[in-house]
A and B are shown apart, each in its own frame.
Chain A
Amino acid sequence: MPAWLALLYVWPIGMLVAGSLQAGGLGNYLAVGQRVDFLRLLFNSLWISGWTVVLGALVNSLAGYALARLQFPGRAVLLGLVLICMVIPFEAVAAPLFYSVSRLGLRDTLGVQILPFVANGVSIYLFYTFYLEFPRELEEAACLEGAGPWQIYGRLVLPNSGPVLATHSVITLLSSWGAYLWPLLVTAGPQARPLPLALANFMTTPPLHWGQIFAFGVLMVVPVLLGFGFLQRYFQPGSLTSGIK
């Protein structure tokens, strides 16, 4: 069975963890804190990813819900727009955005690493397809009681969106936490720099000490592992039907 392949697969991860404890032991972790302002970098990454996930959940679920349920002029055009934006990767707008951000003097801010990633075609489509399948009876009942679309969305739809919120959060968290290209373009100093870029800089800043580099790596992956582990529990297709009862 795939046992040997699994071993080969965990080998680099095992090497990362073991390496972070070699030639210095736990001191490697302390040395990271002495060589860089790790708390600052961690805060930057948490702040950027946190707001991207939360704002994205609100903005994209609202749009997905409206597209799935409300009839309004221009709906078909907007759906087409979402489909187009879905296939255009961020790299396609990196150069012109970099130009605009530089001209506006917005480099080296955290906001410029959040806002471009909030509205997202893939996420909108994810919410849209989820809400198409959402049982109409619940909304109709609420509608009869006099609730408007905003109330239905806030009190009924969003609280019952667990699985799709988890999916949105997982994909957004992974891409946001790992972002490298955009921070490389828009950050010059450490004050707004996120962890991946700081890790690459840490590796090339002498002295080359692999124990410390690996300790940095472990520290950087732990938060996203925790976040993923937490989201995975809510990542259940059954949670939708449990909301109906």
Chain B
Amino acid sequence: MVSPAVLGLLLFVLAPFALSFLISFTDLSLGSPHPMHWVGTLQYERLFHDPALARALANNLRFALVVVPLQTALALALAVLLHRPGWRLAGLYRAIFFAPVVFPMSLVAVIWRYLYAPGLQGPANRLLSWLSLGHWQARDFLHDPEWALGALMALSVWQGVGLQMVILLGGLQQIPSDLYEAAALDGAGPLQRFRRVTLPMLRNTLIFTALMTSILAFRVFDQVQILTHGGPAGATSTLMFELVRSAFERLQMGRACALTVLFVLIVLLLTGLQRLALRQRAL
């Protein structure tokens, strides 16, 4: 009964990864007439000294450091605001905030490319100008080295927050209501109930969603490829963008596979951190 699944996992997850590990020690290149050579750890040494990769990893890290706290906080706020049993509009709001999750990232990127149009004709610029009572200076978000990564972060949060919100809502529904009643009897106000009941009870769900989002921050690709192609001047390049460029545009399989190994190490590190956080007892 397990054999089809095991076959699938072996063939499409474990074997490719093992292959990737092997190829990362070679100079294999797709379509090259030269025979493949074992090059030891050369690919890794090159990666270590590669400024383009350092730039990409720094962007992933920035992405994680901004998007994870921002998206988690926003999702938590929405979940708490919408968790009101018997409130009719809750369903409508939930649908609104969840809707972008159903949108493929490619479509999200296309919509936001329109929003980010340069000049005051661009909808995002117009909105910011209106909100700032005309103080906003129109920018070309996607071509401005200072703004491009932030622009990608914004649309990623827009698309991702709904999924975190429904997971957290599920967590909120599991909290027994007598805990709140007991806290209220003890004279705890709404803020204290949130800090003393909601947060500790939601702790594991929060850790789970934060891990999910931080791994996503190291998988970012679609929006980079569609909107900025890593530019301007590497300002939005990411690990996955580098990997695909190596494998697909330059056909350097050795380098792409070394990047794959690096990516898996990052994912395992993040997962290990999550296990540690889950094991630590709540204070």
Residues of A within 8 A of B (CB): 1-2, 5-6, 9-13, 15-16, 19, 58-60, 62-63, 65-67, 70, 78, 81-82, 85, 87-89, 91-100, 102, 115-119, 121, 124, 149-150, 153, 174, 177-178, 180-181, 184-185, 195-197, 199-200, 203, 210, 213-214, 217, 220-221, 224-225, 228
Contact = CB atoms under 8 A, between A and B. Distances in A.
A118 B248 contact: no
B16 A93 contact: yes
Interface stretch (B17-25, B139-147, B176-184): B17-25
Contacts of A195: 104
B273 interface: no
A75 to B, nearest CB: 9
Interface stretch (B42-50, B58-66, B186-194, B262-270): B262-270
B221 A87 contact: no
B97 A178 contact: no
Contacts of A99: 19, 23, 28, 30, 247, 253
Main SS of the interface on chain A?
helix
B114 A19 contact: yes
Nearest to B253: A99
B56 interface: no
Contacts of A213: 110, 114
Interface string B107-120: 11111111100000
Contact of B104 (A9, A65, A100, A221): A221
Contacts of B108: 12
A82 to B, nearest CB: 7
Contacts of A177: 104
Contact of A88 (B17, B30, B105, B110): B17
Given A62-B4, A63-B4, A178-B105, A96 B114 contact: no
B102 A174 contact: yes
Contact of A67 (B2, B12, B81): B2
Nearest to A72: B2
Contacts of B219: 89, 91
A121 B8 CA distance: 10
Given A2-B78, A88-B264, A118-B8, A95 B256 contact: yes
B185 interface: no
Contacts of B19: 96, 99-100
Contacts of B5: 59-60, 62-63, 119, 124
A200 B226 contact: yes
Given A100-B19, A174-B101, A91 B256 contact: no
Given A9-B100, A95-B257, A217 B215 contact: no
20 contacts: A12-B100, A13-B103, A16-B111, A60-B5, A91-B240, A91-B260, A93-B13, A93-B260, A94-B247, A96-B19, A96-B257, A102-B30, A150-B1, A180-B225, A180-B226, A181-B244, A213-B114, A217-B110, A221-B102, A221-B104
B259 interface: yes
A12 B100 CA distance: 9
Contacts of B12: 93, 97, 115-117, 119
Contacts of A59: 4-5, 8
B96 interface: yes
B7 interface: yes
Contacts of A210: 114
Given A88-B13, A99-B19, A199-B107, 19 more contacts: A2-B93, A10-B99, A12-B158, A60-B5, A85-B13, A87-B271, A93-B12, A93-B260, A95-B259, A96-B16, A96-B20, A100-B16, A121-B9, A181-B221, A181-B222, A181-B240, A184-B244, A200-B226, A210-B114
Contact of A217 (B78, B107, B246, B268): B107
